[in-house]
A and B are shown apart, each in its own frame.
Chain A
Amino acid sequence: MTDAIVPSRSPAATHLPAAPQRVRGYWGSVWRRLRYDYVTLFCLVLILIIVASAVFAPELAPLDPYKSSMAHRLKPIGYRNYLLGTDEQGRDMLSRLLFGGRVSLSMGILPVVLATAIGGLFGVLAGYYGGKVNTVIMRTMDVFFAFPSVLLAVAISGSLGGGIVNQLLTLTIVLIPPLCRVAETATAQVRTMDFVDAARATGASTLSILFTHVIINVMSPVVVYASTLVSVSIILASGLSFLGLGVSPPTADWGLMLSTLRQSIYVQPWVSAIPGIAILVTSIAFNLVSDGLRQAMDVRS
Chain B
Amino acid sequence: MWLYAARRIVLTIPILLGVTIICFALVQIAPGDPIQNLLSPTASAADAARLRAAYGLDQPLVVQYVIWLGKVLVGNLGLSIANNAPVAGQVLHAFLNTLVIALISVVLAFVVSTIFGVLAAYRSGRLADRVITAVAVFGISVPPFWLGVILVILFAVNLSWLPATGMGASGSESFDYLHWDDFKFAIMPIVALALPPLGIMTRTTRAAVAEILNQDFVQTLRAKGLSERAVIVHALRNILPQAVAMLGLQLGYLIGGSVLVETVFTWPGTGYLLNKAVLTRDIPLLQGTILVLATAFVLINLAVDLVQSTIDPRIKRS
Contact = CB atoms under 8 A, between A and B. Distances in A.
A143 B142 contact: no
Contacts of B264: 262
Given A150-B259, A159-B26, A279 B146 contact: yes
Interface string A146-172: 111111001111111100000000000
Contacts of A227: none
Given A146-B297, A158-B286, A287-B141, A258 B149 contact: yes
Contact of A284 (B138, B158, B255, B275): B138
A99 interface: no
B141 A262 contact: no
Interface stretch (B11-19, B36-44, B50-58, B79-87): B11-19
Contacts of A146: 15-16, 18-19, 294, 297-298, 301
Contact of B257 (A140, A148, A265): A148
Contacts of B301: 146
Nearest to B150: A273
Contacts of B27: 159
B137 A276 contact: no
Contacts of B255: 148
A245 interface: yes
Interface in A238-289: 238-239, 242-245, 255, 258, 262, 265-266, 269-270, 272-273, 275-276, 279-280, 283-284, 287-288
Contact of B274 (A143, A154, A279): A154
A235 B143 contact: yes
Majority SS at the chain A contact face = helix
Contacts of A148: 252-253, 255-257, 293, 297
B186 interface: no
Nearest to A287: B141
Contacts of B22: 143-144, 147, 155
B157 A265 contact: yes
B114 interface: no
A139 interface: yes
7 contacts: A143-B15, A154-B274, A235-B143, A242-B263, A243-B263, A280-B146, A284-B138
Interface of B: 14-16, 18-19, 21-23, 26-27, 29-31, 137-138, 140-143, 145-146, 149-150, 152-153, 157-158, 252-253, 255-257, 259-260, 263-264, 274-275, 277-279, 281, 283, 286, 290, 293-294, 297-298, 301
